[in-house]
Structure 1
Amino acid sequence: MKHPSRVVLLDLDGTLTKSDSGILATAVRTYKLLGRPVPTNEELSTFVGPPLIESFTNHGLADEADKAVALYREAYTQPTFDDPRNPGQKVPGMFLNEVYPGIVESMDELRRRGYVLALATCKPEPQAQRICDRFGLTEHMDYLFGASLDNTRIHKAQVIRYGFDAIHFDEEEGDRAVMVGDRWTDVDGGHFAGVKSIGCRWGFSAPGELEEHGADMIIDTTDQLPDAVDRFFATLA
Structure 2
Amino acid sequence: MVKHDYILFDLDGTISKSADGIKYSLENAIKQMGKPVPDLSDYTLYIGPPLIDTFLNICHFSQEESLRGVEVYRDIYNTEGKFVNKAYDGIEELLKKIKADGKKIAVCSSKYELFAKEIIEILGLSQYFDAVCGSTLDGSRKDKKDLIPYALNSLGTSLEKDRENAVIIGDTYFDTKGAVQTGIDFVGASYGYGDIEQMKKEGGKVFADTPLEIYNLI
Query: Do both proteins adopt the same fold according to a TM-score greater than 0.5, normalized to the shorter chain?
Result: yes
Query: Helix, strand or coil: the match of 1:146?
Result: strand
Could you say which residue in structure 2 is the equivalent of 1:100?
88
Give the aligned partner of residue 192 of structure 2: 203
* Structure 2 unaligned regions, length at least 5: none
Which residue matches 1:149? Answer: 137
2:101 paired residue among 113, 117, 135: 113
Runs of 4+ with deviation above 2 angstroms:
41-45, 168-175
Indicate if the aligned counterparts of 1:146 and 1:159 stay in contact, CA closer than 8 A. yes
- Count of residue pairs the alignment pairs up: 212
> Within 2, Cα distance between the matches of 1:174 and 1:22?
34
Partners of 1:44 and 1:32 in 2: CA distance: 18
Identical-residue share of aligned pairs (%): 30
Structure 2 distance, partners of 1:31, 1:54, is 14
Look up the match of 1:129: 117
| Equivalence for 1:24 | 23
Give per-residue Cα distances to partners, 1:186-231, cap 9 Å, x unaligned.
11012112212000111001252221221131111111111111xx
State how far apart, in whole Å, the 1-side matches of 2:184 and 2:97 are: 22
Unaligned runs of 5+ residues in structure 1 are 79-91, 230-237
Q: CA distance change for structure 1 residues 173 and 227 in 2, over 3 Å: closer, same or farther?
A: closer
What SS class does the counterpart of residue 188 from structure 1 fall into?
helix
Q: Aligned to 2:183, what secondary structure does the other structure show?
A: coil
Choose 49-58 or 59-68, whichever is displaced more: 59-68
C-alpha separation in 2, matches of 1:172 and 1:96: 38
1:93 Cα offset (Å):
0.6
Q: Deviations over 1:33-76 (max 9, x none)?
A: 11211111345541111100011100221351011111001101
Residues 207 and 16 (structure 1), Cα distance of their counterparts in 2 relative to 1, 3 Å cut: same
Aligned CA-pair RMSD: 1.7
